[in-house]
Structure 1
């Protein structure tokens, strides 16, 4: 990919924002189990960081997705995974379909405030029994006059205890399971909506995650995004941005793990010499850096295809699978080189290992990515 001065300026803006507005507070937010989403998102929105590839008429910068990519790469410099993930939900998971298929009314009422940082949003897809198997969701939105009456539950929803609206995937008919779903905007102040206390997660501690409940929640049918019955298709399209975004935001975090480990092992001595002087350690760290560079190339290629109007599904699946694998192995192997220090809760590599473990589960598990790749190769089992 060819980057311009504008790409580089966006990189610098995110780097400075993370350094000034995020990292000084990360330890406190991690301890508290939540970060002030409205306050932080408003600051990011004022800099244009929540709508880089969104239309200018709704407050975005109107740039192509490559500019969003470099921003997400720099968000990875955050000292925890929670904040980049929360931002990614706002920019690349909950709002792409709204920007592309939403009515003018919906864009003015919900997209513009999300871009400005005046509203926090979530994407409501997963359910207790339906994570990777999106078609198996049970939440319903039944027509009543000009309204939808929504009943069901959603699980593991990021930003949800602070969200102003949820972009919800629900069954709007009894048609075939890939043709009966619609995306609907649900304001969280609507009667009948509630959420559980924050879920107690292994990592991503400062990201507020909860189970959502919809008990006869009534919203206008005009809050539907695009055509009825096209929700599954819209969500599959939305997943491509999510997967490219997810891969991009891990690159700098993985590099930080490597760099912090290089620094530690160059100073820590054992048996009369720095740990880094052991051939196995420096060769393994070199191998890790090569793998991260391969991930960067895969991610850039997926983005390039997306920007050029090509279908990025296969390449995005490659990148998502690669980052899922690397986020399991690199933090764990780096932690090993820290010895007992790495086993401490406050250690940055320990936090990265806990936070990044989600990568191979969320946004399409590694096994789902392998299935997509296998289907493309024509080698998956016939049903």
Structure 2
């Protein structure tokens, strides 16, 4: 008996989660694996946020909420967009989900018809294309290599849009490349999109606060306010406040789209976690000192990782401007052999070798729609990074 629908058969499990789970299994079996595969901050959630969650449970905030969450949290999100991005939204232009991932899924579920195109610049976050497929869409992947700083170009976008285009995906700072679109670059993309009034824009800004360079972050709607009425800005508390397990994402967008997404949520997960919502209120309304302190650490980690990787012949890379990933091109190792005689045919083989023999978990570029690259998260301790880089350097040096 066939249990999977054709739609389910089209998609794969999250590559980053799959590698992370394998790394954890190896570690549980006693193998000394260092996991650099997941984008998960290696910090404890700030104490005042944990305390808010605890007090919320004591106060009885452990029941269902409305699908669009507590109004107090939506107000905190409205205030955040005003404070950080100079954007004005109303409460009915805000939706909340069980992580930014669910926000993205609900957006596609609410809007895509079979055969609609979702323009996705590569490298892209691993789940964009599969989410589109699951909801009947067709990912239209546009290669945006290192020669164009991993960014979508206006002419490239203009040439790709067709009458079937429903969404254009943007991600800044980018996972996996760490590149940030400047305000000028966003304005140029906006000028193209102005010519296509039926195209929706999804701006994934989950790494907004993790800035590693002097280049400022600009929200897409801040750069292109004329496109506010068809742009969904997606964000969340996972990365900025080390709250990945709280599963709390949010978005701002046009009222009709937000209403449709809330309807989808009412028929799937019902509502976001009540306790996580109270914790998110504390995160957004409380002290923002943690962001500055953690970003300082990420910068130091990134500089150290880039310096070490830059000394390895066969890898080429550039310093990320945001997020907490190194994304080196590994072309120099394709075609080499492992000590056991296996040929490294692609970046997936290389990532597999680094995990099995080097005991370092990384994600191959193929998972992000571009090859040959590997992605390493440096959102972990200095000690772990030093160990991981030494293991990686030794494993790569063993290839012949």
Please, what TM-score do these two structures have when normalized by structure 2?
Answer: 0.22
- Structure with bigger helix share is 1
